[in-house]
Structure 1
Amino acid sequence: MAAYTSLAVDTDAADRLHIRLNRPDSKNAITQTMVDELHAVCAELEERPRVLILSGAGGVFASGADIGELRERRSGDALAGINSALFVRVAALPLPVIAAIDGWALGGGAELAYAADFRLATTSARIGNPEVSLGIVAAAGASWRLAELVGEPLAKEILLAGRILNAEEALAVRLVTEVHDADALIPAAHALADRIGAADPLALQFTKALMRAPRDAHPLADNEAQAVLFESEQKFARMTAFLERRTERTKR
């Protein structure tokens, strides 16, 4: 992959990509450069689908958009959807995305985490959207994704009243699904990627797409996906292996 200035890339495992937001001196604030580099990561994963793990350097996931850049943006920048277009692309990646949240995930950093399929956190995680205190709205997904994730009453507390969730609170409302000590976070993300990776990649891609499809697309979309999978080599190989294992168990 290309050399990046605001991201650190781990490609050790063939079935996943671990991207670390890597601007620790600014608490991984999201800049235009980081947005551009994350678009390049998305292009790579659209071309060669793998599980994506997102984390942050320096004990912080991402403190939000870079305020210095944000202050200079005008109406045309807002209409261009600089962050929102990226996060839509992240959410639409073919295979699951895991956000591993350590420390602060605020503003745009929280919205990036909301775009993931799974969110894991450390005990020090703090998640929220303080945009209205800066005279703007959470325009990169929080205004609609957050209500889907945690329900409208809590979303309003976060978006309108500035509530910051700690790890325990985020776990209680299932905004995150696991909480770990800091040194166990990335191993836990890889363990989750291992469980995902045990499944058929094409079945995973279809399942993720079906879960995002509008209600009126079902059941036709499900049937069409199943029609493709019913003819796949993986389906026959995996089901044959299952039947053979069951036969072996009954012989014992």
Structure 2
Amino acid sequence: MPRTLAVQAPEDGVRLITLQRPEALNALNTELLGELAAELDAAERDAETRVVVITGSRKAFAAGADIKEMAERDLVGILNDPRVAHWQRITAFSKPLIAAINGFALGGGCELAMHADILIAGEDARFGQPEINLGIMPGAGGTQRLLRAVGKSLAMQMVLTGEAIDARHAQRAGLVSEVTQPEFTVERALQIAKVIARKAPLAVRMAKEALLKAQDTDLASGLRFERHAFTLLAGTADREEGIRAFQEKRPAQFKGQ
């Protein structure tokens, strides 16, 4: 059983993972990242899990990397940091991932939040990349994902000053999709997750992949991928079920086939 996470078994196709290092504001040490990567690997393999929601506490989603652990590493330790492999496994997760964020999402916490496909934030959430204050810079995708999410100017300001932005600013910039009262953040994320979990799993996966392609490729290549994915889905049993259910005016029962 993980020591730094609480994991709820899938319900209505949704698995909830809660970061639990309250003594350190959920700072992302090697153990936590390893356990999170393992849980996402398990969710990837589990046919009953269609969507994952990840959250922290009311005070902090994750306040960054574990500074104490960082201070104990020399250059050789950094070059051989096991957390790199954990981050790569988290990045490779292909099912929909939703982050429910209250309180601090700073440094590695902000980078973890940006791994999610949909970000739901409480009014008290704060997002930032303060690594510059330690004489370093983001190292888990922060510079790359933040610029794609909020644009060059705001990303430069956040990374170079180390200053955080609040939830409403994050929403206006495009970093989060919704802002809620803090007590409803997880509930709202689970609501969205359950809606997605009822959709055709193959279509959801391919739609996610196509949307991510839009960030990483030119328009012509993205359109080719979209058309290819659309054609593949046309031959699935779920597509037939979806059309039949629409015609019969009933909810579709998608099987992922």
TM score, norm. by length of structure 1 = 0.90
Q: 1:74 to 1:106 in 2, by over 3 A?
A: same
For the residue of structure 1 that corresponds to 2:143, the secondary structure is: helix
CA shift, 1:229, in A, is 1.3
Check the 8 A contact 2:16/2:53 in 1, yes or no: yes
Alignment of 1:44-193 (within 5 A): 44-48=42-46, 50-80=50-80, 82-193=82-193
CA shift, 1:84, in A, is 4.9
Cα distance in 1 for partners of 2:185, 2:58 equals 13
CA RMSD of aligned residues (A): 1.9
Cα distance in 2 for partners of 1:132, 1:174 equals 23
For the residue of structure 1 that corresponds to 2:211, the secondary structure is: helix
Check the 8 A contact 2:41/2:93 in 1, yes or no: no
Cα distance in 1 for partners of 2:127, 2:137 equals 16
Q: 1:40 to 1:6 in 2, by over 3 A?
A: same
2:241 is equivalent to residue 240 of structure 1: no
CA shift, 1:76, in A, is 3.8
Check the 8 A contact 1:95/1:205 in 2, yes or no: yes
Cα distance in 1 for partners of 2:40, 2:127 equals 24
Cα distance in 2 for partners of 1:50, 1:245 equals 24
5+ residue gaps, structure 1:
247-252
CA shift, 1:73, in A, is 2.1
Q: 1:170 to 1:66 in 2, by over 3 A?
A: same
In structure 1, what residue type is equivalent to 2:15? L
Check the 8 A contact 1:206/1:225 in 2, yes or no: yes
Which residue is equivalent to 1:23? Answer: 21
Which residue is equivalent to 2:255? Answer: none
Q: 1:184 to 1:73 in 2, by over 3 A?
A: same
CA shift, 1:177, in A, is 1.4
For the residue of structure 1 that corresponds to 2:149, the secondary structure is: helix
Check the 8 A contact 1:84/1:141 in 2, yes or no: no
Which shifted more, 75-84 or 207-216? 75-84
In structure 2, what residue type is equivalent to 1:151? G
Check the 8 A contact 2:14/2:194 in 1, yes or no: no
CA shift, 1:196, in A, is 1.3
CA shift, 1:96, in A, is 1.2
In structure 2, what residue type is equivalent to 1:237? E
Cα distance in 1 for partners of 2:40, 2:160 equals 31
For the residue of structure 1 that corresponds to 2:248, the secondary structure is: helix
Identity of matched residues, %: 34
Which residue is equivalent to 2:4? Answer: 6
For the residue of structure 1 that corresponds to 2:238, the secondary structure is: helix
Cα distance in 1 for partners of 2:184, 2:223 equals 40
Measured against aligned partners, the alpha-carbon deviations of 1:79-112 in whole angstroms (never above 9, x if no partner) come to 4464454344334322211111110111101100
Which shifted more, 92-101 or 107-116? 92-101
In structure 1, what residue type is equivalent to 2:44? E
**How many pairs were matched up?**
244
